[in-house]
Each structure stands twice: as C-alpha cells, then as structure tokens.
Amino acid sequence: MQALTVRRPYADGLVRGWYPVEQRSWFARRTGPCLIHAGRSREWDHRFAWFHQPLPDDQAWGCLLGLVDIVLAFHLHGLGHVLDRQPEFNWLLRLNLRGPICYVVQRPWHFVQPLRWPGAQRFFDVPNDVFAEATCLDPAGHVRRASEYAAGFVETMPCDPDRTL
C-alpha cells in the first residue's frame, strides 16, 4: 500500500479525523487507501499550537500511525470547479486552505500501537504484511484489523488535475 510521511501533529489529525485535508506543493495522481507515516522531524509547527495538544511521546516519531482514504485531490485554484461537480465538498470553503495542492481524506483509522517504519519523500510503498495485522480503532471506536480497511474503500472521484485547473 502507498504511504505518505506527514509532520506531526498533522499526521495525528489525519488518522484521528480532526485534520481532513493534507496540503502539499506537489501533485500526484493518487486517490484510495493510504498509510499515514509520522515524520521524525520534531519541529513543532506554531500555526497548530492553538490545538493545545501535548507533543506525542518519543515512540511515535518515524512510525506508521494509521490509514485514511484519499477521496479527492485538486489544485486549490480549481476548488470552484470541484465544488460545481461535487457540492458535498462545500465544507472545504470553511477551511483556511493554502495548498496549492489539497488531498482530502476520509475514513480515518489509527493504529493502537504505531508501527516503526522508515519514511520517504512523496508517496512510497509499504508491504501489506508490515501492517495487515495491526490493531486499529475506526471512527466509531471499534477495534479492527488493518487488513479489513481496503474492503470498505469506495473511490469518490477519479483524480484528473486537468479537470480541476
């Protein structure tokens, strides 16, 4: 499965459901299930300090934290076109998006115990046997195995950057 390294605390927000949009400077034709990897950088992003969450413990840096579905990827300047075609994403207008590329995630599952794994730039592959038996909590708090995740995936929108420009 593909994974994406994200700086903490944003990585935590993605897998716990309170940070639904990852913003990048580069575009990838990518939607579908994705592992979220917490980067090893310990630079606290002060733009996020308002959330008043303690920094994660040392065990969870440089680890896989959970799974999300990337359901939409678009160039920020094409948001109006996206919303014309998919008005169910109108909630994006309430966010302070800076992009320029936005990846919208849904269905977050976080691992009960983070899994040590080296990260990489952009999307990278992680063998399924690394995480398949990991114990996860879904948004409703049910205990699941990570191997169950892909069974519930439904692609919301094919990712075509030319149509969102």
pLDDT digits over 27-77, tens only? 998 899 999 999 987 666 555 555 555 555 555 789 999 999 999 999 999
pLDDT of residue 118 exceeding 70? yes
25 closest CA partner among 77, 100, 78:
100
pLDDT value, residue 60? 77
Q: Is the peptide bond before 54 cis (omega within 30 degrees of 0)?
A: no
Cα–Cα distance, 151 to 107 (Å, whole number): 12
HEC readout, the chain: CEEEEECCCHHHHHHHCCCCEEEECCCCCCCEEEEEEECCCCCCCHHHHHHCCCCCCHHHCCEEEEEEEEEEEEEHHHHHHHHHHCHHHHHHHHCCCCCCEEEEEEEEEEEEEEEECCCCCCEEECCHHHHCCCEEECCCCCEEEHHHHHHHCCCCCCCCHHHHC
136 closest CA partner among 147, 125, 123:
147
Structural domain harbouring 119: 2-164
CATH code at 40? 2.30.130.30
Q: Is the pTM of this model over 0.75?
A: yes
Cα–Cα distance, 151 to 33 (Å, whole number): 10
Cα–Cα distance, 41 to 34 (Å, whole number): 21
The DSSP element (H or E) to which 72 belongs, if any, is strand 63-75
Give the β-pairing of 123-125 and 21-24. Answer: unpaired
The number of domains in the chain is 1
Q: Could you give the percent of the chain with pLDDT greater than 70? A: 80
